[in-house]
Amino acid sequence: MHAERVFLIGPRASGKSSLGRLLAARTGAEFVDADIWAVERAGCEIAELVEREGWPAFRALESNILDELASRPGPLIAATGGGVVLNPANRKRMREDGMVVYIEVSAQTLADRLTADLLPGQRPSLTGLSPVEEVAKVLAEREPLYKETAHIVVDGEAPLDLLANELAARLGAASQI
Protein backbone atom coordinates (compact mmCIF):
# COMPACT_ATOMS: atom_id res chain seq x y z
CA MET A 1 0.00 0.00 0.00
CA HIS A 2 1.38 3.39 -1.01
CA ALA A 3 0.21 6.33 1.12
CA GLU A 4 1.61 8.79 -1.42
CA ARG A 5 -1.31 7.90 -3.73
CA VAL A 6 -4.75 8.27 -2.16
CA PHE A 7 -7.99 7.15 -3.80
CA LEU A 8 -11.17 8.67 -2.39
CA ILE A 9 -14.16 6.40 -2.92
CA GLY A 10 -17.84 6.72 -2.12
CA PRO A 11 -21.15 7.41 -3.78
CA ARG A 12 -21.90 10.50 -5.83
CA ALA A 13 -22.31 13.56 -3.58
CA SER A 14 -20.29 12.00 -0.75
CA GLY A 15 -17.75 14.83 -0.97
CA LYS A 16 -14.86 13.14 -2.77
CA SER A 17 -13.98 16.17 -4.90
CA SER A 18 -14.40 18.73 -2.10
CA LEU A 19 -12.40 16.66 0.39
CA GLY A 20 -9.81 15.81 -2.26
CA ARG A 21 -9.10 19.47 -3.03
CA LEU A 22 -8.72 20.31 0.69
CA LEU A 23 -6.56 17.26 1.36
CA ALA A 24 -4.30 18.04 -1.59
CA ALA A 25 -3.88 21.61 -0.37
CA ARG A 26 -2.92 20.36 3.11
CA THR A 27 -0.50 17.69 1.91
CA GLY A 28 0.98 19.34 -1.18
CA ALA A 29 -0.20 16.43 -3.35
CA GLU A 30 -1.63 16.82 -6.83
CA PHE A 31 -5.44 16.58 -6.95
CA VAL A 32 -7.23 14.80 -9.80
CA ASP A 33 -10.99 14.45 -10.21
CA ALA A 34 -11.50 11.30 -12.30
CA ASP A 35 -14.95 12.44 -13.46
CA ILE A 36 -13.46 15.65 -14.90
CA TRP A 37 -10.83 13.58 -16.71
CA ALA A 38 -13.61 11.32 -18.03
CA VAL A 39 -15.49 14.32 -19.46
CA GLU A 40 -12.28 15.63 -21.05
CA ARG A 41 -11.40 12.24 -22.56
CA ALA A 42 -14.93 11.55 -23.80
CA GLY A 43 -15.31 15.05 -25.21
CA CYS A 44 -18.79 15.28 -23.71
CA GLU A 45 -20.67 15.11 -20.42
CA ILE A 46 -20.90 11.69 -18.77
CA ALA A 47 -24.67 11.57 -19.32
CA GLU A 48 -24.16 12.09 -23.06
CA LEU A 49 -21.50 9.37 -23.22
CA VAL A 50 -23.77 6.95 -21.37
CA GLU A 51 -26.73 7.80 -23.60
CA ARG A 52 -24.65 7.44 -26.77
CA GLU A 53 -22.49 4.42 -25.89
CA GLY A 54 -23.97 2.90 -22.72
CA TRP A 55 -22.71 2.37 -19.18
CA PRO A 56 -20.14 -0.28 -20.24
CA ALA A 57 -18.29 2.34 -22.34
CA PHE A 58 -18.20 4.73 -19.41
CA ARG A 59 -17.04 1.99 -17.01
CA ALA A 60 -14.22 1.06 -19.43
CA LEU A 61 -13.14 4.71 -19.61
CA GLU A 62 -13.31 4.92 -15.80
CA SER A 63 -11.04 1.86 -15.49
CA ASN A 64 -8.54 3.27 -18.01
CA ILE A 65 -8.37 6.52 -16.06
CA LEU A 66 -7.86 4.61 -12.80
CA ASP A 67 -4.99 2.65 -14.37
CA GLU A 68 -3.38 5.93 -15.38
CA LEU A 69 -3.84 7.42 -11.91
CA ALA A 70 -2.53 4.30 -10.19
CA SER A 71 0.73 4.47 -12.12
CA ARG A 72 1.16 8.24 -11.90
CA PRO A 73 4.33 9.23 -10.02
CA GLY A 74 4.43 11.56 -7.05
CA PRO A 75 1.95 12.39 -4.32
CA LEU A 76 -1.61 12.23 -5.63
CA ILE A 77 -5.13 12.58 -4.24
CA ALA A 78 -7.72 11.16 -6.66
CA ALA A 79 -11.47 11.59 -6.38
CA THR A 80 -12.85 8.54 -8.17
CA GLY A 81 -16.26 8.01 -9.72
CA GLY A 82 -18.90 6.48 -7.47
CA GLY A 83 -19.06 3.27 -9.48
CA VAL A 84 -15.33 2.60 -9.78
CA VAL A 85 -15.67 -0.17 -7.15
CA LEU A 86 -18.03 -2.19 -9.35
CA ASN A 87 -15.06 -3.66 -11.22
CA PRO A 88 -13.08 -6.15 -9.07
CA ALA A 89 -9.88 -5.25 -10.94
CA ASN A 90 -10.36 -1.59 -9.99
CA ARG A 91 -10.81 -2.48 -6.32
CA LYS A 92 -7.63 -4.58 -6.40
CA ARG A 93 -5.66 -1.91 -8.26
CA MET A 94 -6.57 0.85 -5.81
CA ARG A 95 -5.77 -1.28 -2.74
CA GLU A 96 -2.40 -2.35 -4.14
CA ASP A 97 -1.31 0.99 -5.59
CA GLY A 98 -2.54 3.43 -2.99
CA MET A 99 -4.36 4.19 0.21
CA VAL A 100 -8.12 3.91 -0.25
CA VAL A 101 -10.40 6.16 1.77
CA TYR A 102 -14.14 5.51 1.84
CA ILE A 103 -16.21 8.60 2.59
CA GLU A 104 -19.22 7.15 4.37
CA VAL A 105 -22.43 9.22 4.20
CA SER A 106 -26.03 8.27 4.98
CA ALA A 107 -28.49 7.73 2.12
CA GLN A 108 -30.64 10.62 3.35
CA THR A 109 -27.73 13.08 3.37
CA LEU A 110 -26.68 11.95 -0.12
CA ALA A 111 -30.23 12.41 -1.41
CA ASP A 112 -30.41 15.87 0.19
CA ARG A 113 -27.12 16.87 -1.43
CA LEU A 114 -28.13 15.54 -4.84
CA THR A 115 -31.50 17.27 -4.86
CA ALA A 116 -29.91 20.54 -3.70
CA ASP A 117 -27.30 20.42 -6.47
CA LEU A 118 -28.72 18.56 -9.45
CA LEU A 119 -26.11 18.12 -12.16
CA PRO A 120 -27.87 15.90 -14.71
CA GLY A 121 -25.05 16.12 -17.25
CA GLN A 122 -22.44 15.13 -14.71
CA ARG A 123 -24.59 12.77 -12.69
CA PRO A 124 -26.99 10.83 -14.89
CA SER A 125 -29.61 8.69 -13.19
CA LEU A 126 -28.43 5.14 -12.66
CA THR A 127 -31.87 3.62 -12.13
CA GLY A 128 -34.56 6.05 -13.30
CA LEU A 129 -35.88 6.19 -9.73
CA SER A 130 -36.39 9.34 -7.68
CA PRO A 131 -33.14 10.70 -6.14
CA VAL A 132 -34.05 9.39 -2.66
CA GLU A 133 -34.99 5.91 -3.92
CA GLU A 134 -32.00 5.74 -6.25
CA VAL A 135 -29.51 6.72 -3.56
CA ALA A 136 -30.86 4.15 -1.11
CA LYS A 137 -30.80 1.38 -3.73
CA VAL A 138 -27.35 2.18 -5.11
CA LEU A 139 -25.81 2.67 -1.67
CA ALA A 140 -27.20 -0.67 -0.47
CA GLU A 141 -25.59 -2.39 -3.47
CA ARG A 142 -22.23 -0.62 -3.33
CA GLU A 143 -21.53 -0.03 0.36
CA PRO A 144 -20.11 -3.54 0.91
CA LEU A 145 -17.73 -2.92 -2.01
CA TYR A 146 -16.66 0.46 -0.63
CA LYS A 147 -15.97 -1.06 2.79
CA GLU A 148 -14.15 -4.08 1.31
CA THR A 149 -11.88 -1.79 -0.72
CA ALA A 150 -11.11 0.87 1.89
CA HIS A 151 -8.06 1.02 4.10
CA ILE A 152 -9.68 3.91 5.98
CA VAL A 153 -13.36 4.79 6.48
CA VAL A 154 -14.20 8.40 7.38
CA ASP A 155 -17.43 10.12 8.37
CA GLY A 156 -18.44 12.16 5.33
CA GLU A 157 -20.99 14.07 7.38
CA ALA A 158 -18.28 15.72 9.50
CA PRO A 159 -17.23 19.27 8.59
CA LEU A 160 -14.85 19.13 5.62
CA ASP A 161 -12.10 21.14 7.32
CA LEU A 162 -12.00 18.78 10.28
CA LEU A 163 -12.16 15.75 8.03
CA ALA A 164 -9.29 17.02 5.84
CA ASN A 165 -7.14 17.75 8.90
CA GLU A 166 -7.83 14.33 10.44
CA LEU A 167 -7.18 12.51 7.19
CA ALA A 168 -3.97 14.44 6.47
CA ALA A 169 -2.70 13.43 9.92
CA ARG A 170 -3.71 9.78 9.42
CA LEU A 171 -2.11 9.63 5.98
CA GLY A 172 1.06 11.25 7.30
CA ALA A 173 1.27 8.60 10.01
CA ALA A 174 0.63 5.83 7.44
CA SER A 175 3.45 7.07 5.21
CA GLN A 176 5.87 6.79 8.15
CA ILE A 177 5.25 3.03 8.44
- What are the binding residues for ATP? 13-18, 123
Please enumerate, by residue number, every residue annotated as part of a binding site. Answer: 13-18, 35, 59, 82, 123, 142
Report the b/e string of 131-142 with b at 16+ CB within 10 A: beebbbebbeeb
Laid out side by side, the sheet with 30-33 consists of 30-33, 76-79, 5-9, 99-104, 152-155
Please enumerate, by residue number, every residue annotated as part of a binding site for Mg(2+). Answer: 17
Q: Is 75:172 a contact under the CB 8 Å cutoff?
A: no
Closest CA to 3 of 114, 77, 109: 77
Please enumerate, by residue number, every residue annotated as part of a binding site for substrate. Answer: 35, 59, 82, 142
Facing residues of 33 across strands?
79
Facing residues of 114 across strands?
none
